Amino acid sequence: MNHRVSRPILRQSLSDLLYGGSDLSASSAPYLRDGVSIQRYMLMPLLAVLPATAGAIYLFGWRVLAVFLVAVTAGGVMQLAFSFIRRRPPTEGLLMLALLYTLLLPPNLPWSIIALGAAAAMLSRELFGGLGYNVFHPALVGKAFLLVLFPVFMSQFSQPFWGGSGGFVEWAPPADVTTTITPLVAALQNQPTPPLEQLFIGNAPGAMGATSGLLLLLAGGWLLLTRAIDWRISIVMLATIAIGQSLLEMFFPTVFRGGWLIHVLAGSTLFTAFFIATDPVTSPLTAWGKWIYAIAIGLLILILRALTPDPEGVTFSVLLMNFFVPLIDRWTLPKSYGGRA
Amino acid sequence: MAIVGTLKTFKGGHYFGRFEGTPTGRIVAAPLPTQVRVPLRQGFGSETASLVAVGDRVKAGQIIARSDEMTSTPVHAPISGKVTAIDEGAHPLSQAITTYVTIESDGRDEWTYLKLPKGNFERWGADELGRILYEAGVTALGKAGFPTAYRSSDVDPGKMKYLLINAVETEPYLRGDLALLYEEFEGFVTGIKILKSALGNVDVHVGIGYDQPRLLEELENRMDYHDWLYIHPLLPKYPQGEDEVLVKTLLNLDVPSGKHATAIGAVVCDVQQVLAAYEAVLEGKALIERVISLGGSAVRRPVNVRVRIGTPIGDLLREFGHETPSRNLLGGPMRGIAVNDMNTPILRDTRALVVLREPTKKLFGGARPGLRHDSYTRIIPPLLGGPRVATTGLNGTPRPCVHCGYCVEVCPQNLLPIWIAEAAHQGDLRRAEQLDLFACVECGLCSYVCPSKISVMDEIQKGKRAIREERLES
């Protein structure tokens, strides 16, 4: 099942990149194959996340782009190393991984930390066998790695640029704003939060690409329409958070706070629902498995946010559920129409 | 009264767009072949024993091979002429060694007809109708043959409860049945009555595409007074016409995996089988010609064409023109088998001859928009770009499975195709059986939709073969 390579890997990689297999033909029935290649399939979320990237530059300055380039370089070096060790051409996914990773980081991280996290992310993917074989979402592994090693750096947020040309004429927001807290933390500590419409358009501190609910909803809607992501994960996860938070606040008002809208709009929730949890490789294959996975992530996010110091909860919720994916798939095997399994 | 059901469909499947090179217009007749090479195994059943010798003169419609003591159906001479050779060769579909009878045409096209009893066929009785269908070769069509008192299939015709008529065509380029429905509607209506009489006490369910309202209305009007007939408008989604899928959609019954629909008492016939029954019973004509869809991106004149069985595909391609390099498929683009030999004969269960262009190398082929490709995803906007263009290209580089789940979504049998393929590929046949690989109907959609270009169905088929061999050994 694995793709075999007969040519030297450099030539094969170049050919993959330039021609994308357009000269290959089917050697067994069906001789008619779908027009969508893995490149096109993986390009969809990448295109969808571009408006959010532009938004991130507007909010946090051109340093966002530099962070992305550092992440691509660090991840790329790691991938090339594995490619030579394995003697297999590098597979797709580097750009997407680096971009998602970038958008999940707070602004103003030191370069060395950014590079370290990106290398760790790619390492986690390649160690399991590369594209298609990784158990954990690589961008989250990179972020979790940094959250554990550099908790102080990772909880330093900045107020974004707003008004006029915003961050399009800036490099980065000032780094000394150590008192800035994210809306979610404010909500959990019963402090005043920014107005909801400001949160919706993205004028709030947070992970660089995950603050603007508007841009993320547009991207998510487009991905759902083109069938590039599965509604069973995105919609169910968001619904769980909205309904779950409302119910929990009703029964345990001292523990769960903030209101469901804040929980949906802040703390990278929308970003996770559309771009992270929907990653096909690390989510279940069966229809009912996707429901279980999405509901479990939603509930875990709420619990982690209320009961642990983790400000967002999304990273470890998704990583934890990644563990269970093979198990969930086995539990939810569909019954075939042949009367077996 | 005929009962018209509501619009029905099944879970999964794929609605193909319209492809460039799909046959249109009236059915045309192919010129009479000068020489035919007829394999003595065609359609359902085992190989039949030859009744002719080299040098014999035969007429069109004459039985040249039959084996009444084995599960089989007689084979006929499709043209009149002289038997010039009887030799062995690989069967075009199964590749098993098969006897071929070569007949050289005398150009006179003299026919011989079956002997028919007098009077209306409705008074002939099931046994007599069964004999005519058997001797006309009609019983060889379909996945499990048509059951008669003769050994044309493995089951007892008296135990059948349903007769399903598949009048919905969903595979790209296949339009022959539809063209026949419009041109020979009377024959279709009478043919249904004949097949019903041959089976006795069965309910008849006809599935027709809901996008053919004229046919639906006409059928309802003509069959109005029959209370055994159910008419079902169907969404023309591939693979609706597959026996197991049709049974599930029309009757909501599951065909046990690895078994034919006959196991639950359902006989499935397609349009051409109904029409062949009509011609056999009313005109005494044996099944020696059929309509095939000659289409595909490399065909110059895509047509539905009436051909004699045994016509070499080279004759047809010369007549209607094709571009090279291309791939010739005996059958549709999803289920067809690639054939290189231009002498490969058209068989009595060949539905189509599809010729597809080979792909050409394109710069940045992996990322191009490709508006004219068909796709299960809506990543390629379905309304843009006009008719779809097809090649045999993979349209991408092979990659490991990324668990996108498209194969699970399209599988009409509710399987996990990629898991079965992986198990089969690794030689874990027990796991493949556990995942019910024998429920697979081999529609090919899992391979079609895979963005990683994994030949999922091919791996499943290999797994099936390995398990069958294992069972033979023990």
* Tens digits of residue pLDDT in B422-462: 999 999 999 999 999 999 999 999 999 999 999 999 999 99
Is B374's CB within 8 Å of A34's CB? yes
Three-class SS state of B267: strand
Closest by CA to B419, choosing from A252, A134, A285, A87, is A285
Strands of B114-202, DSSP E:
162-167
* Tens digits of residue pLDDT in A128-149: 988 889 999 999 999 999 999 9
- What is the DSSP annotation of B280-336? HHHH---S-EEEEEEESTTBSS-EEEEEETT-BHHHHHHHH-B-SSEEEEEB-TTT-
Q: Is the minimum CB–CB distance between B394 and chain A shorter than 8 Å?
A: yes
Q: Is the minimum CB–CB distance between B172 and chain A shorter than 8 Å?
A: yes
CA nearest A88 in B: which residue?
A: B399
Is B359's CB within 8 Å of A22's CB? yes
B374 CB neighbours in chain A (<8 A) are: 32, 34-35
Q: What is the ipTM of this complex?
A: 0.90
Residues ≥6 apart with Cβ < 8 Å to B456:
B407, B417, B418, B421, B446, B447, B450
Residue ranges for chain A with pLDDT beneath 50: 341
The secondary structure element, H or E, covering residue B472 is helix B456-473
- Mutation target to probe the B interface, by most B beta carbons within 10 A, among A15, A16, A22 is A22
Q: Is the minimum CB–CB distance between B400 and chain A shorter than 8 Å?
A: yes
pLDDT of the residue at B119:
87
Is A340's CB within 8 Å of B448's CB? no
For A189, phi and psi rounded to 5 degrees? -95, 15
Selecting from B402, B447, B450 the residue whose C-beta is nearest the C-beta of A131 gives B402
Residues ≥6 apart with Cβ < 8 Å to B125:
none
A285 CB neighbours in chain B (<8 A) are: 403, 405, 408, 416, 418-419
CA nearest B443 in A: which residue?
A: A30
Distances (CA, A) of A335 to A287, A331, B257: 12, 11, 12
Cβ neighbourhood burial of B219 (10 Å; 0-12, 13-18, 19+): buried
Q: How many CB pairs under 8 A join A and B?
A: 263
CA nearest A340 in B: which residue?
A: B436
A36 CB neighbours in chain B (<8 A) are: 370, 373, 375-377, 379-380, 395-396, 451
* Contacts with B, A 210-239, CB within 8 Å: 225-228, 230
Mean per-residue pLDDT pooled into runs of 10, chain B (474 residues): 81 91 94 95 92 95 93 95 95 92 94 92 90 94 90 89 94 94 94 92 93 91 84 93 94 92 94 96 94 95 96 95 91 93 94 94 79 83 75 90 92 95 95 93 95 95 95 90
Distances (CA, A) of B7 to A216, B208, B238: 38, 10, 15
Q: Are B142 and B216 in contact (CB under 8 A)?
A: no
Min Cα separation A78/chain B (Å): 19
**Which amino acid, residue B422?**
E
Selecting from A20, A92, A280 the residue whose C-beta is nearest the C-beta of B365 gives A20
**Which amino acid, residue B100?**
Y
Q: Are B101 and B50 in contact (CB under 8 A)?
A: yes
Alpha-carbon gap, residue B325 to A250, rounded angstroms: 70
CA nearest B402 in A: which residue?
A: A132
Q: Is the minimum CB–CB distance between A6 and chain B shorter than 8 Å?
A: no
- Mutation target to probe the A interface, by most A beta carbons within 10 A, among B242, B402, B447, B459 is B402
Min Cα separation A7/chain B (Å): 14
Bridging pattern class, strands B97-105 and B35-39? antiparallel
A226 CB neighbours in chain B (<8 A) are: 377-379
pLDDT of the residue at A341:
41
B257 CB neighbours in chain A (<8 A) are: 336, 338-340
Q: Is the minimum CB–CB distance between A36 and chain B shorter than 8 Å?
A: yes
pLDDT of the residue at A296:
97
For A68, phi and psi rounded to 5 degrees? -60, -45
CA nearest A40 in B: which residue?
A: B367
* Tens digits of residue pLDDT in B229-260: 999 999 999 999 999 999 999 999 999 998 99
Is B416's CB within 8 Å of A333's CB? yes
The secondary structure element, H or E, covering residue A180 is none
Selecting from B374, B416, B439 the residue whose C-beta is nearest the C-beta of A285 gives B416
Is A34's CB within 8 Å of B418's CB? no
* Contacts with A, B 317-356, CB within 8 Å: 327, 329, 333-338, 356
Q: Is the minimum CB–CB distance between A152 and chain B shorter than 8 Å?
A: no
Q: Is the minimum CB–CB distance between A95 and chain B shorter than 8 Å?
A: no
